Amino acid sequence: MDDKGISVLIPLLTDKPLRESDSDWLVNRQEEISYLNNITAHLPFGILGVAGETGIGKTTVLNFVKPSHVYVQTVNISLRETMESILYDLLYSLASKLEHDNDVGEVARECKDWITEEVATLKGFSLGFSMLGNTEAKFEKSRAPRFNFFAARERLGLLIEETVNAKRKFLLIVDELDKEKKEDVLRVIDALKTQLLIENLVVVFSLPFAIYREYVSDRMRWNEAGNLENVFKDIVFLEPLKALDIKEMLVKRLDRYLDFVEHDVLEVAADFSDGNPRDALWILYKSVYDNIHEDKLRKVHLLNTINKVVKEYISTGVSLTENQKKAVKLLGDYFGPKEGILEILQKNGFKRTTAYSVFEQLVEKRFLIVRDGNYKISGKFKFVDF
Ligand SMILES: Nc1ncnc2c1ncn2[C@@H]1O[C@H](COP(=O)(O)OP(=O)(O)OP(=O)(O)O)[C@@H](O)[C@H]1O
Ligand SMILES: [Mg+2]
């Protein structure tokens, strides 16, 4: 064994989206990736979405989308206060990606210069604004420079058009929009429809979970004119991974350092994750830190870390009543329909109405989660002695 102990595991547990060069670490998702490769290669134009809870692997999947004979660019959106700033950021990021391109570099640089100037004016103004006294500020406010939404949109349209003309087929991937509030995402995409729905352009957005949920149940009112279905050609939903996939991911990452973890550790981390790869990496990372001087990470170490983080979480206000705690204990290994849960609770002394409300509350607090239409206690809470 290495005398550095389990600290050698830390770099192997880094949470970062995988790229093509890390394909050794990729598990599952072949189906979603080849579907996206196919559809983006063959669709003449249109908007697609990739949806899923945070940390489930949206960016990772998007990094593997490389359709043949298609020019691909990915942009990230990071300025997010308003719809206008999302558009500015989109234009700026795309222009930055294209500024050294032989075909469209010139147009891209023009866009970048324009936006830099715009933002400087906005910033300069708000700086001056904060230096003025209150009375003058009131007066100045009416002359405040605004985000020039229409001009920015026109430029984005132009840049995209030039790129499509030069490259024949253009796939634009817009990642990180998923952190947005639902309404803002919809408003931005809606406002850009004319610029985005053009021949030979396919756009893929990563989307917040909430949008997908409404898309499926088809209740989403897009605006007066229509709903989500009319805007997205399709939305690919990334389901949580299976426990087996999570274990495979960990085995691939730890590889020749597998001896540094006790066998059951991977099992427990996979359970804890509920199929979310980020959660598995996070809890292991945390546990390695908690036990940095050990020469092997054992199940008992990981269980201690889990207990600690869950208790911290609960102490921030997600309190459980005695009944709810009792139910969590009783349901520890259950996996099945709602009726089965109500039956177990009633057999153990819960009144019918109490069983119902305890069930509802545990679902709402995400102590009970749904997988393939069946319920189970989240792996986050399975190992905790309340
Ligand atoms: N299919 C996979 N195989 C192996 N590791 C994965 C897979 N998908 C995701 N991961 C790992 O899980 C973590 C989260 O992935 P990623 O950043 O792609 O998720 P995300 O859905 O884009 O998250 P966010 O909502 O924060 O943008 C990363 O550390 C990544 O390496
Ligand atoms: Mg991401």
Which pLDDT tens digit goes with each residue over 61-81?
Answer: 999 999 999 999 999 887 566
- Calpha distance 78→309 (Å, rounded): 29
CB 278 within 8 A of CB 60: no
28 lines ligand 1 (CB under 6 A): yes
Average pLDDT over residues 84-93: 87
170-217 confidence digits (pLDDT tens):
999 999 776 666 677 777 888 898 899 999 999 999 987 777 776 666
Q: What is the CATH number of domain 320-386?
A: 1.10.10.10
Among 121-130, 214-223, 355-364, the range scoring the smallest mean pLDDT is 214-223
What's the CA gap between 322 and 220, in Å, rounded? 38
Compute the distance between CA of residue 254 and CA of residue 266 in angstroms, rounded to an integer. Answer: 10
Ligand 1 atom closest to Cα of 62?
18
Ligand that comes closest to the CA of residue 51: 1
Identify the burial level of 253 via C-beta atoms within 10 angstroms of its C-beta, where 0-12 means exposed, 13-18 middle and 19 or more buried: buried
pLDDT of residue 26: 98
CATH class of 29-237: alpha beta
* pLDDT at res. 229: 64
Q: What is the arithmetic mean of pLDDT over 125-151?
A: 59
Domain ranges in the chain are 29-237, 320-386
Per-residue pLDDT tens over the stretch 307-318: 999 988 888 777
User: What whole-number percentage of the chain has pLDDT above 90?
Assistant: 67
CB atoms within 10 A of CB 19: 13
Q: What is the mean pLDDT of the chain?
A: 88
Which protein residue's CA is at the shortest distance from atom 1 of ligand 1?
A: 27
Distances (CA, A) of 253 to 21, 119, 138: 14, 43, 58
Q: What integer is the mean pLDDT of 366-378?
A: 93
Ligand nearest to the CA of residue 63, numbered in listed order:
1
Average pLDDT (251-262) is 96
Q: Does the pLDDT value for residue 250 go beyond 60?
A: yes
pLDDT of residue 148: 85
